[in-house]
């Protein structure tokens, strides 16, 4: 059966510890991706490595940490990275295309819809989209960067309704502890729910040329699972390893989901939108929204933070402070502050709003 598959490869898998591209590794991964493509699968590659590929070329002794230096290295390195991929894929008769995205692209519904249409057309033509963060313009000042590209790969997988996401790492999956420090650590073969215990076993950052650790990969798996995408985190090192990972026999951990793929509107709301405030709700309202599929009425609102207007997105938290979801509000901040906790009849007497629901269930997504 042919499938739509997103594969994420990090900097440490493509470059040397000293910086610069490792052509042998690029050729190996290209061969693995070409094998999937030749079987009729629609393949998308999310790649890191631009900064690591470029910093030596422009004279930096070590990977830069200052923003403008990283952006300069990425400007040089991205061209080198794409040239290497293009040459490697050409040897298999496959055309590759470059797509550079930022968080701001995902936060804008029109821009991300345009990006999706481009990807869909490339896949229709049998072209492999190669996707990376646009490091030369991305900053953390207004919209956070993807940084490690793990979350970028999960968002791309959800957006394109991929069947599977393969995140390649130097570890053969998730362990109860770091097996490099404790040989008694036990490998976790399958995960169907990412609990706090699962998050606690995730480690810190990775190599000197990469930025992602196991924690960011598990967060990416969580995004994928919520979007109805099955995920794999593990090692792809030998011939045929990528096909084995896709087929369910890979050297890693599988993250299963029973959820269906989300409509683009729900994806944008849950993963891409920028919340402009937060509402804390009482226990009954939280239960009704999470398990009963109900809308949020002013009576269930306990506290509101932030300045927002009707049509804006806010986070919703329970009284423990846990974020349980996001929604589009029908009230301005001052309006809900004036009627929080009141009955529907009392709300109607005090303010004039187009809809009585503070957040309608059709404009809501659970993140629990």
Residue 8 marked as a ligand binder? yes
Show the CA angle centred on residue 33, arms to residues 20 and 88, nearest 5°: 50
Cα–Cα distance for residue pair 157/267, rounded to 1 Å = 11
From the list 293, 296, 299, the residue with the least C-alpha distance to 314 is 296
> What is the distance between the alpha carbons of residues 354 and 118, in angstroms, rounded to a whole number?
37
48 is in an annotated binding site: yes
217 is in an annotated binding site: yes
Q: Is 216 annotated as a binding residue?
A: yes
User: Are 19 and 63 contacting, i.e. CB atoms less than 8 angstroms apart?
Assistant: yes
Q: Does the annotation place 270 within a ligand binding site?
A: no
H/E stretch holding 264: helix 264-267
Residue 171 annotated as part of some ligand binding site: no
Instruction: Output the DSSP codes for 21-80.
Output: B-HHHHHHHHHHHHHHHHTT-EEEEEE--HHHHHTTTTT-SS---SHHHHHHHHHHHHHH
Please tell me whether 213 is known to bind a ligand: yes
| 226 annotated ligand-binding residue | no
Q: Which residues contact 2 (CB under 8 A, 6 or more apart)?
A: 39, 40, 41, 42
- Token pair 């920028």: residue: 274
> Does 2 count as an annotated binding residue?
no
Cα 4 to Cα 40, 126, 162, 177, 321, distances in angstroms: 9, 12, 5, 32, 37
Tell whether residue 153 is among the known ligand binding residues.
Answer: no
Query: Is residue 250 marked as binding?
Result: no
What's the rounded Cα separation, in Å, for the pair 233 and 244?
A: 12
Q: Which residues are annotated as a binding site for substrate?
A: 48, 135, 149
Detail the residues annotated as belonging to a binding site: 8, 48, 135, 149, 169-170, 211-217
Please state the residue numbers annotated as binding site for ATP: 8, 169-170, 211-217
């Amino acid at each position: 059966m042919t499938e739509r598959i997103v594969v994420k490869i990090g900097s440490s898998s493509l470059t040397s510890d000293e910086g610069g591209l490792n052509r042998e590794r690029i050729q190996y991964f290209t061969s693995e991706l070409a094998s999937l493509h030749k079987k009729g699968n629609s393949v998308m590659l999310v790649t890191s490595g631009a900064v690591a590929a470029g910093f030596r070329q422009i004279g930096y002794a070590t990977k830069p940490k200052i923003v403008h230096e990283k952006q300069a290295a990425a400007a040089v390195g991205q061209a080198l990275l794409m040239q290497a991929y293009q040459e490697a894929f050409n040897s298999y008769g496959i055309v590759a295309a470059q797509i550079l995205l930022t968080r701001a692209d995902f936060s804008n519904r029109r821009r991300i819809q345009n990006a999706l249409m481009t990807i869909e057309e490339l896949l229709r033509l049998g072209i492999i989209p190669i996707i990376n963060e646009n490091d030369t313009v991305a900053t953390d000042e207004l919209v956070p960067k993807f940084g490690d590209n793990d979350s970028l790969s999960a968002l791309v997988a959800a957006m394109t309704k991929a069947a599977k996401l393969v995140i390649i790492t130097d570890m053969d999956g998730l362990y109860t502890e770091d097996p490099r420090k404790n040989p008694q650590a036990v490998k976790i073969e399958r995960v169907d729910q990412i609990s706090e215990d699962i998050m606690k076993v995730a480690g810190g950052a990775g190599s000197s040329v990469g930025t992602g650790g196991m924690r960011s990969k598990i967060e990416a798996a969580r995004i994928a699972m919520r979007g109805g995408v099955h995920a794999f985190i593990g090692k792809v090192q030998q011939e045929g390893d990528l096909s084995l990972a896709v087929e369910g026999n890979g050297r890693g951990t599988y993250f299963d989901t029973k959820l269906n793929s989300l409509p683009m509107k729900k994806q944008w709301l849950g993963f891409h939108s920028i919340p402009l405030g937060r509402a804390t709700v009482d226990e009954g309202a939280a239960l009704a929204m999470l398990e009963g599929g109900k809308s949020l009425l002013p009576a269930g609102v306990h506290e509101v933070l932030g300045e927002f207007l009707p049509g804006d997105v806010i986070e919703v938290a329970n009284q423990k402070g846990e974020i349980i979801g996001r929604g589009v509000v029908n009230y301005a901040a001052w309006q809900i502050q004036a009627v929080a906790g009141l009955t529907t009849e009392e709300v109607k007497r005090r303010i004039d709003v187009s809809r009585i629901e503070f957040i309608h269930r059709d404009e809501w997504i659970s993140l629990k």
